[in-house]
Structure 1
Amino acid sequence: MTSRLPLVSATDTPAASRALLDAVHGAFGATPNMFRAVANSPAALQAMWGFFGALGGGTIPAKLGEQIAVAVADRNACEYCLAAHTALGRKAGASAAEMSAAQAGESADPATAAALRFALKLVEQRGQVGDADVASLRAAGFDDGQIVEILAHVALNLFTNYVNVAFAVPVDFPGVKLRAAG
């Protein structure tokens, strides 16, 4: 598959994107294709990298963030994000079975299951959730700040899913099969 946008390289990166791509490279040990596509716009790259950094410093554990990411990626048929976040989830301590369950929006852990249900409802209903949905997160032990962070993780993943799907960014992580629609 060929990307619908150029994947910038070290030689053709816009000057305003260079430092950020260097930071991405330092964090991953390589520069993932998604960031190379987004680097066509220094403003979009700054927004995306800043969003990742801000949520990385939040109170939602990395493992839960990655579980949310694979659930959202699968729902949006984003093979790139599914592959990337499955690998990142494993690095964050999730088992292969936990990541596979999260891809289906499921977890044996009640709090994680509640977060995944909420995340998928946000995606499926375009943010149209109700009082009971927020109350279910509180009942699962999430405080208001964590509830906002769960929504922020969904928003970031919508951004990355749309980038990768819309621009046909080639997957450069070990592939993971999307769940069959049904």
Structure 2
Amino acid sequence: MKKIKVPTRDEVNPDAQLLFDQVTKHLGKLPNLYATMGYSSGTLKGYLQFEAAMSGGVFTVKEKEAINLVVSEINNCDYCLAAHTMIAKSKGYTEEDTIGIRKGFTTDHKLDTVVKLAKSITDNRGEADPELLDAFFEAGYKEDALIELIGLITAKIFTNYVFAVTGVPLDFPEASKLDSVS
């Protein structure tokens, strides 16, 4: 099988180089996953625009990280688990919080409805358990939040699949394996 390597700035087209510069300026580094997306400047640009469009939205940064964690766990994406565990901890989650979210639960009732619904949608390839959908709305979320949740799940599945197919090296601290924690 062909090994996909992480391209350097000089190995991508000028449009991707500009995007690399923007990402580096914004994040302080160019993550390997984004660099690999740079093989297709249009794909990287579209992903970054989609991500930016949802940056305000209904969900808090912490809620978004919970969504990222549960979706990445379901898809066995070591890269996204590493990145989003680090980010989640920087946003106030503990290691135990991140592990619980990855297992599909949290002690925060409202957040738990989001995590469980995101897990259901991801596990069932877009189908949602009707009871979990009802619980989501009963927790106070509206239709805009549902559509945003689907968008966030979709964006994360995309990055999970990029990792699954390319196997880019981790450039974040590895997340704990769930089978190695109690």
Taking the aligned partners of 2:20 and 2:57, their CA distance within structure 1 comes to 22
1:143 aligns with 2:142: yes
Alignment of 1:151-170 (within 5 A): 151-170=150-169
Q: Secondary structure at the match of 1:56?
A: coil
Taking the aligned partners of 2:113 and 2:55, their CA distance within structure 1 comes to 21
Taking the aligned partners of 2:67 and 2:82, their CA distance within structure 1 comes to 13
TM-score, structure 1 as length reference? 0.91
Matched with 1:94 is 93
1:113 aligns with 2:112: yes
Residue identity over aligned pairs, in percent, reads 25
Taking the aligned partners of 1:12 and 1:135, their CA distance within structure 2 comes to 49
TM-score, structure 2 as length reference? 0.91
Aligned residues: 179
8 Å Cα contact 1:77/1:178 also seen in 2: no
Superposed displacement of residue 131, structure 1: 4.3
Cα deviations across residues 80-135 of structure 1 (Å, max 9, x unaligned)? 00000011112222222221211111110011111111111111111122544322
1:27 aligns with 2:34: no
8 Å Cα contact 1:13/1:39 also seen in 2: yes
Amino acid at match of 2:20: L
8 Å Cα contact 1:107/1:113 also seen in 2: yes
8 Å Cα contact 1:86/1:99 also seen in 2: yes
1:6 aligns with 2:5: yes
RMSD: 1.7
- Please identify runs of 4+ aligned residues in structure 1 that moved more than 3 A: 130-133
